[in-house]
Structure 1
Amino acid sequence: MKKKIIAGLAVAALSLVLVACGNGGKTDTTGTKETNSSAQATTIEIEDSNGKVTVPKNPKKVVVFDNGSLDTINELGAGDAVIGAAVDNLPTYLEKFNSVESAGGIKEPDLEKINQIQPDLIIISGRQQDFQEELSKIAPTVFLSVDNKDTWASIQKNVTTLGKIFDKEDEAKEKLASLEKEIATTKEAAEKSGMKALVVLVNEGQLSAYGEGSRFGIVHDTFGFAQADDGIEASTHGQSVSFEYVLEKNPDVLFVVDRTKAIGGDDSQNNLTDNELVKQTTAGKEDKVIQLSPDVWYLSGGGLESTHLMLEDVNKALK
C-alpha cells in the first residue's frame, strides 16, 4: 500500500513539472499561463495619417522612406534600428545612413529587397503611398505626413508618435520643447520685421510659387513671415509663375528652393540673384534672395533636425 502511495505522488509531481514546462516555465495557483517577458512580443496601437495601426514597440529592424521621420528617429537615439532607406535620395545631413541597405527609389520601393531583409516596421511618406498596401503585406507600414494647413501641430504629432513607437517619449517631449522655443524666437523676429516673403521653387529656369497651405507653407504659418501674395493657389506642385510676377509682387524676402540641385539636372538658369527682374525687387536690392538648402526643403522636412535646419535657413533673412 505504501509503495502505491509513493508511486502516485511521484506521478503527480512529474505531471506538475510537465505542466509547468508547457506553460513557459511558470504556473500560478489559478492555472493562468504566464509568458516569459523575453519571449513576449509587445505591440502598440498608434494613429498615423490614415488612422489606427498596430505596430511593434521598439522595433529593431526598420525601413524608412520618409526622410523627416528618419532624422527624427536618429535625433531620438534610435538610428541603429534603421536597416534600410532610399539611400540614393538621402539629403546630405543624413549621409550617415548611406551604409544601410538600399530599399529602392524615393518613389518606387524595391519590394523584393524589402521582403528579403524582413523589417519589423516600414515608415513611408506620400511619395510611396501607392505602394502602401503591398508594403503592409511585408511588415506593418506607417504613413506619417505633414498637414500643410497646420504644419507645426502635425510635426509635433508625428514626432510624438515616433517617440511612442521607439519608447522615447521623454526624449521626444524634450526635443519638441526645445524646437518650439527656437520657432518662437524666429516667429517673433519675422513678425516684428514686417517683411513680406515669397517662396519659389526653381527647376531648370521655371518658377513655381508657394504660399500658406502648401508644401513650403511652414515659412508663413510656423516661422511667421507674412506673404507677399495672399492669393497663391495652394497645391503640391505650386502655382506656375514668371519672373515678371516676382517683380510685380516685389517681395522684401525671396526664398528659393532649387529643385534641380536637389535631384540633378541643368541648373544653369537657376541663379535668381542674377536675373534682371529679380534684381529690381526689394529682395534683390537688399540682398534678401535667400537660397534654401535644396536637399532639406525638397527631399525632407517635418522632422526634428530638418525643422531646425529650415529655421537656420530662414533666419538668414533676419540678419
Structure 2
Amino acid sequence: MRKFTYALMIGLILLFLAACGSDDDNKGAETNTDTDTEEIGGGGGEAAAGTVTVEHELDTTEVPVNPESVVVFDFGILDTLDKLGVESVTGVAKGGTLPSYLDTFESDEYENIGSLKEPDFEKISEIDPDLIIISGRQASLYDQLAEIAPTIHLGVDDGDYMNSFKNNMETVGQIFDKEAEVEEELTAIDDIIADLNERAEASDEKALIILANDDKISAYGPSSRFGIIHDVFGVKPIDENIEASTHGMNVSFEYVMEQNPDILYVIDRGAVVGGSESESAKQLVENELVENTNAYKNDNIHYLNPEFWYLSGGGLVSVSEMAKQIDETIE
C-alpha cells in the first residue's frame, strides 16, 4: 500500500511539473508574436497588428492595412486608388463636380459623403469607415472626422510638389499593399518629366499661367498652386515676382499684354464649377489686349484640362496627364 501511495505522489508531482512547463512555453510564444507593424513618414508610436503609422500634416494616425471601407474626399487620391485597382472605396464627395474620368464613382454603389467643403457627417458615421482620406479643403474639419474613423491628410505642398506627391503615393502604396505598382507608376511619370525638363530648358520661351474665373483672371507663378509647370516641368516663367498663393494674384489683361508671354496657359475654373463654359473663357482671354502678345500671335495659348489641374491634382492619373499636356506645348 505504501508503495502504491508513493508512486501516486510521484505521478502527481510529474504531472504538475509538466503543466508548468507547458504554461511557460505558451507565454514564450505570446511574447515573440510579430505585430506586423510599419511606420510611414518618419515613424510614430507603437501600432497594433495589421496597421501602419502615418505621419501627415495634421497628426500621426494609426491606419489599418488594406482597410475594407474607405471614405475619400481628395479626387487626386481617388484617381490613384482607381488606377491601382483598390476596391475598398465606399464613400465619395458627390456634392460638387466629380471629374468626368472618375464618373464610375457616380453610381449608387458609392455613398455620397457631401461636398468638399461641407461633409455629410451623419452619412459618414453611418458608413462607419475604416479610413477617411482628406486634403486641404477639409483640413479645418479634421478633428470632427477623426472622431468618426482614422483620418489622414494627403494634400500636396505647392512649394515642394513632387516630394509631397511622391510621399503621398508611397503612403497609399503601403496602406493598400500596392508598393510595387506605385513605384512603377512614379517611374513612368519621372521619365515624362525628365524629357520635358530637357526640352523646356533648351527653349527660350517664357510662360504665364492664368486662372479664368467668369470675368476675372488671376496669375500663378513658381511655388503656387499651378507652379508645378515652372518648378517641376521646367518651363521658364515670364514673371518671377508673382505672389505665391492658392488663389493666385489678381491681374488685368493689361498686365498680360505688358508681360508679353511666349506661352499662355489658361485654366478655366468656370468649366468645372458650373460657371462659364470653355468657349466663354476663350472669348474672355483672347481679347484685343492679349492679341498683342507673342502667345497669341504664335498660336501658343493653351487651355489646360481643368479636371486635372483644378479638381484632381496630386494623383497618379492627374499628375501624369498634367505632365503630358505641358509636354505637348514645348517644341
The 1-side partners of 2:112 and 2:310 are apart by 20
Match of 1:250 in 2: 260
Secondary structure at the counterpart of residue 198 of structure 1: strand
Match of 1:279 in 2: 291
Mean alpha-carbon deviation: is it higher for 43-52 or for 280-289? 43-52
* 1:205-257 deviation per Cα after TM superposition (whole angstroms, max 9, x unaligned): 20000001110000000111000111101111100000110000011110001
Length, aligned pairs only: 308
Match of 1:301 in 2: 313
Query: For residue 210 of structure 2, what is the amino acid of its counterpart?
Result: V
Match of 1:176 in 2: 186
The 2-side partners of 1:299 and 1:90 are apart by 8
Extract unaligned runs of 5+ from structure 2. Answer: 36-47
Deviation, structure 1 residue 315: 2.3
Q: CA 1:34 to 1:270, structure 2 compared with 1: closer, same or farther past 3 Å? A: same
Deviation, structure 1 residue 71: 1.4
The 1-side partners of 2:237 and 2:27 are apart by 70
Match of 1:130 in 2: 140
Secondary structure at the counterpart of residue 82 of structure 2: helix
The TM-score, its normalising length taken from structure 1, stands at 0.87
Contact 2:54/2:152 (<8 A) preserved? no
* 1:1-35 deviation per Cα after TM superposition (whole angstroms, max 9, x unaligned): 89x99xx89x99xx99xx99xxxxxx737473798
Mean alpha-carbon deviation: is it higher for 183-192 or for 224-233? 183-192
**Residue pairs, 1:37-186, within 5 angstroms:** 42-78=50-86, 80-87=87-94, 88-99=96-107, 100-186=110-196
The 1-side partners of 2:115 and 2:170 are apart by 27
Query: For residue 311 of structure 1, what is the amino acid of its counterpart?
Result: A
The 2-side partners of 1:283 and 1:260 are apart by 22
Task: Give percent identity, aligned residues only.
Answer: 46
The 2-side partners of 1:318 and 1:29 are apart by 67
Q: CA 1:249 to 1:117, structure 2 compared with 1: closer, same or farther past 3 Å? A: same
Secondary structure at the counterpart of residue 62 of structure 2: strand
User: Equivalent of 2:281, from 245, 251, 270?
Assistant: 270
Secondary structure at the counterpart of residue 44 of structure 1: strand
User: Equivalent of 1:234, from 244, 249, 253?
Assistant: 244
Secondary structure at the counterpart of residue 117 of structure 2: coil
Contact 1:273/1:289 (<8 A) preserved? no
Structure 1 ranges of 4+ moved more than 6 A = 33-37
Match of 1:24 in 2: none
The 2-side partners of 1:168 and 1:300 are apart by 21
User: Equivalent of 1:195, from 200, 205, 215?
Assistant: 205
The 2-side partners of 1:123 and 1:175 are apart by 21
Contact 1:208/1:240 (<8 A) preserved? yes
Deviation, structure 1 residue 273: 5.2
The 2-side partners of 1:250 and 1:162 are apart by 42
The TM-score, its normalising length taken from structure 2, stands at 0.84
Secondary structure at the counterpart of residue 290 of structure 2: helix
Contact 1:63/1:84 (<8 A) preserved? yes
* 1:146-198 deviation per Cα after TM superposition (whole angstroms, max 9, x unaligned): 11111111111111111111111121112111110111111211121221010
Contact 1:273/1:279 (<8 A) preserved? no
Deviation, structure 1 residue 75: 2.1
Backbone CA RMSD of aligned residues: 2.8
* 1:92-136 deviation per Cα after TM superposition (whole angstroms, max 9, x unaligned): 121122221111101111100000011100000110112110100
Mean alpha-carbon deviation: is it higher for 286-295 or for 168-177? 168-177
User: Equivalent of 2:300, from 263, 274, 288?
Assistant: 288
1:28 aligned to 2:47? no
The 2-side partners of 1:258 and 1:41 are apart by 47
The 2-side partners of 1:243 and 1:54 are apart by 49
Query: For residue 242 of structure 1, what is the amino acid of its counterpart?
Result: S
Contact 1:61/1:120 (<8 A) preserved? yes
